Amino acid sequence: MTSRVRVITTGGTIASRPDPGGTVSVAVPGRDLVGAAGPGVTVEVEELMLTHSFNLTLTDLLRIAERATDPSLDGVVVTHGTDTMEETAYFLDLVLGPDRTVVLTGAQRHAATPDGDGPRNLSDAIRVAALGHGLGAVITMAQAIHAARHATKTHTLALDAFASPGHGPIGHVYGERVHLAARPVRPAGFDLSELAALDARVDVVPVYLGADGVQIAACRAAGARGLVVEALGTGNPTPGVLEEIRACLDHGMIVLVTSRCRQGPALPVYGAGGGAGLAEAGAVFAGSLTAPKARLLLMAALAAEPSTRQALSRVRPHLAF
């Protein structure tokens, strides 16, 4: 039986070449990226856009999701720049049904590099997508397969730039063989029809020694409906940050607390101005979810639900693991 896989191209380093000025820019059409597929796989190519992932907008994200969720396909591959790949992957994971698989891949070396990693990554991604198996969204690069929830870019230049800190990959691709060691845990997400626009403003604010909360006050003044705080350690604020978060909660905003640590969950462990004070004020701790992903989750919930209480009810199942 032949599997039908769509490769949706969006640009990124995998589709880039050096320009006369010496910088690297997207320039390779989607049809030129895909070589011969393996036996039993029919590949169709759709060039959706040709851009670096640092230029993507929330509207672009919805466009990618609309094309990637086509139920007529056995699997989908999205070629994508690595800078924001983990965010697109996580958003797709939130809107994919339980029996769907979308594989994101890209490259760390541009297309004109003699030993570029793009062709191998794309070939591996097509193999993973053809399997189906209802993996949701995954990232496949450097032979590793990472679940969207845990995948993050951990190195700016290395070929194995992606990792799943504290969890590890769910599988690998060895030559023509795909080996799956685990299946992602995926709480019920959102129907794409619920998310006509991701127009609720949700900001991310980092916490650092001596932070006075001025950025949080600016987000509130700018009309943010939600805030994701990338806090210290297990989820601790500074005194100034705690004061401003209390003001946000009094203002009716939703505040999610993540950790700037790359392993371990955010939990309200410490009193005396620590994370316990945030929990007492009404902030919600996001477990092991990173700040960029917590932002997208909250934006989706606010788009789907009319009230703060209902939005939080959609968010909480995703924070429990």
Catalytic (active-site) positions: 13
Classified as helix, coil or strand, 6 is strand
Helix, coil or strand: residue 266: strand
Cβ contacts of residue 279 below 8 Å, gap of 6+?
Answer: 268, 285
Please report, as a single letter, which amino acid is at residue 262.
R
Strand order in the sheet with 284-285: 202-206, 226-231, 254-259, 284-285
**Contact of 109 with 127, CB cutoff 8 Å:** no
- Taking residue 159's Cβ as centre, other Cβ atoms within 10 Å add up to 17
* Amino acid (1-letter code) at residue 170: I
* Two structure tokens written together for 49: 């856009």
Q: Residue 249 and residue 217: Cα distance in Å, rounded?
A: 12
Tell me the C-alpha distance between 119 and 111, whole Å: 9
Single-letter residue type at 300: A
